[in-house]
Amino acid sequence: LRLYAACGKHAARDLKKLAKSHRRTPDASRREYEQRWQRQARDRRWMAAPTLAEAQALSSYGDETLTALIDFRPYAIGARDFFRWRSRKIVAIFSALFERSKPIVEIGCGLGKNLFALASGGFSNLSGFDVSPTAVAAVRDQAQHFGVAIEAARLDVLAPDSETVAGFSDAVIFTNHVLEQLPRDLEAALDALCACDASEVVHLEPCFELLRPTRSMIDAVTALHTVACDYQRTLLSALKRRERRGAIRLLDVRPLGYSPRLINAPTLIRWRKL
């Protein structure tokens, strides 16, 4: 019952949004997130967490009970438990792929929840970049509070400066729900990522092309949400086109089936420039 209610609520909200035919532009997205991060960073909620491990439970959802997706199944779960689980999941994904000393560069890192999850899992060479100055300041503030060496700086993935990018050549570049923000600028973002010469690129991004809305109610509300928010819908096909041209090699495409709100689960997509 709770699942139907949650799906109905998401659908009603997204149908209203759809009626306004919201068109996402890089500028609008940048403004939206700058405002969001200003609101969320204002109370510096991480100051209440004495250790990095305890900070993994914190989120903007506070103590809410979520209808969340975990391993493709819906659960009613407290936000703190969900975010503890999510933090361990991020560490499990990266530790299955990379040594803990591997340089990991997150582009569009927001307030840094993925970077701090990886730091709590023992990853030691982490840096984060975001177009939002508030996000960058918040990552630096938390790194200082928890005594971890995470570098943070401002970077626009659509106009990265060559000096910063030169430092990414041995790194894994990682995006989590960032390319979703750039529906009509996806090719420009992929060009910029290719130009970084990273050892590998890892996306945890929604993958519209893999949704089966006629078979799954969760996929149906996710598809509606993606269209209503005007998130990108073509990442996988764009990467496959580049693979056919011999520009990249796709290494892995794997839906992950988790989300705090059912409607935005990411797919793991890994590729390497050839």
Interface contacts to ligand SAM, rule CB under 6 A: 26, 29-30, 33, 107-110, 113-114, 130-132, 135, 155-158, 176-178, 181
**26 vs 183, beta carbon nearer ligand SAM:** 26
At closest approach, how far in Å is the CB of 135 from ligand SAM? 5
Give the shortest CB-134-to-ligand SAM separation in angstroms.
9
> Which of 46, 117, 50, 40 minimizes the C-alpha distance to 84?
117
Nearer to ligand SAM, 13 or 240 (CB): 13
Nearer to ligand SAM by Cβ, of 125 and 175: the residue is 175
Nearest CB to ligand SAM, comparing residues 14 and 130: 130
Calpha distance 146→137 (Å, rounded): 14
Provide the minimum distance between the beta carbon of 122 and ligand SAM in the complex, in angstroms, as a whole number: 20
Q: Which of 113/270 has CB closer to ligand SAM?
A: 113
Q: What is the smallest separation between the CB atom of 132 and ligand SAM, expressed in angstroms?
A: 4
Q: Which residue has the tokens 């982490």?
A: 126
**CB distance 221 to 10 below 8 Å:** yes
Question: What does the alpha-carbon distance between residue 188 and residue 234 come to, in Å, rounded to a whole number?
Answer: 13
How many residues in total does the chain contain?
A: 274
Residues 262/76, Cβ–Cβ less than 8 Å: no
Under 8 Å between Cβ of 269 and 239: yes
CA-CA distance, 201 to 188, in Å (whole number)?
15
